[in-house]
Amino acid sequence: MISFDFFRKGVPVILGILLVVVFFGCEEYQKEEFTISDLDAKACVLLLDSLSDTISTSLLTNFDTTWVVDTVIYNSIPEILDSLETNNIMITPGVSYTIVTPEDMDTNYIFYQDSLIGGDGVNVVFYFNDYLSINLVGENGTVIDEKSKAIPLETVYDCPELKTRIVYKLVEEGYLVELVKINQTLSDTLRAVILHEQ
């Protein structure tokens, strides 16, 4: 049976030990710093840059009336990329873009061209200031799987404007980008930046 004397003498000792543990634990936590990566910091600056290239997307049927069904679209990637390039609906890495999409279009198409890709491929990060689903389609009609959709916590903290961050490993120079609006998408006008992961 625990006596009253134990509580009188033991509790202050136990409380003292707990305070020391909490103090040093908090001090250790405070010394640890989390910083945004250089790549994400660069993307954030570009997303907030008032100067950007503006792109307006368009219905694919404006280029060819047969490009209606997804299966037909995926069988016509080289022709679609040619049409998008001819109409300057294309993006390249390292540039800040404002993408204007029609209000009634949930899926918008852009040509992504990257002359620096080659060999075993390059990790490429797509950044957007809005919530989106993205599909990348190779010239042969194959949908590319993303490597990561995660946004590091330090990036969320330092760059709250960033809403979508997707990493792909790409091996070709050209891809069809499908930008798909979802329930969380906030606007028909998007800011976008694409960078090579270092």
3-state secondary structure of 69: coil
According to the 3-state scheme, what is the secondary structure of 70-118?
Answer: HHHHHCCHHHHHHHHHHCCCEECCCCEEEEECCCCCCEEEEEEECCCCC
Helix (H, G, I), strand (E, B) or coil at 24: helix
Report the C-alpha gap between 31 and 129 in whole angstroms.
31
**H or E element in which residue 1 lies:** none
3-state helix vs strand vs coil in the chain, percent to 5: 30, 30, 40
What pLDDT score does 72 carry?
Answer: 80
pLDDT of 186 strictly over 70: yes
The pLDDT, as a whole number, for residue 10 is 56
More confident residue, 7 or 157: 157
Average pLDDT rounded to a whole number, residues 18-23: 55
On average, the pLDDT of the chain sits at 86
pLDDT tens digit string along 86-143?
999 999 999 999 999 999 899 999 999 998 877 788 999 999 999 999 999 999 999 9
Q: How do residues 142-168 score in pLDDT, each as one tens digit?
A: 999 999 999 999 999 999 999 999 999
pTM of the model: 0.81
Position 198 pLDDT exceeds 90: no
47 versus 19: the higher-pLDDT residue is: 47
CB 61 within 8 A of CB 76: no
Give me the pLDDT at residue 16, please.
56
Average of per-residue pLDDT across 25-33: 55
Task: State the average pLDDT over residues 8-21.
Answer: 56
- pLDDT the model gives residue 9: 56
pLDDT grade, residue 177 (50/70/90)? very high
Please give the pLDDT value at position 68.
Answer: 82
Q: Where are the domains of the chain?
A: 1-32, 38-196
3 state SS of 11: helix
Q: Give the CATH fold of the 38-196 domain.
A: Jelly Rolls (2.60.120)
pLDDT in tens, 51-99: 999 999 999 988 998 888 777 888 899 999 999 999 999 999 999 999 9
Residue 19 has pLDDT above 80, yes or no: no
| Edge-to-edge strand list for the sheet holding 164-170 | 53-56, 96-100, 189-196, 122-128, 164-170
Q: How far is CA 1 from CA 4, 6, 7, 8, in A?
A: 10, 10, 12, 15
User: In sequence order, what are the residues at sequence separation of 6 or more whose Cβ sits closer than 8 angstroms to the Cβ of residue 7?
Assistant: none
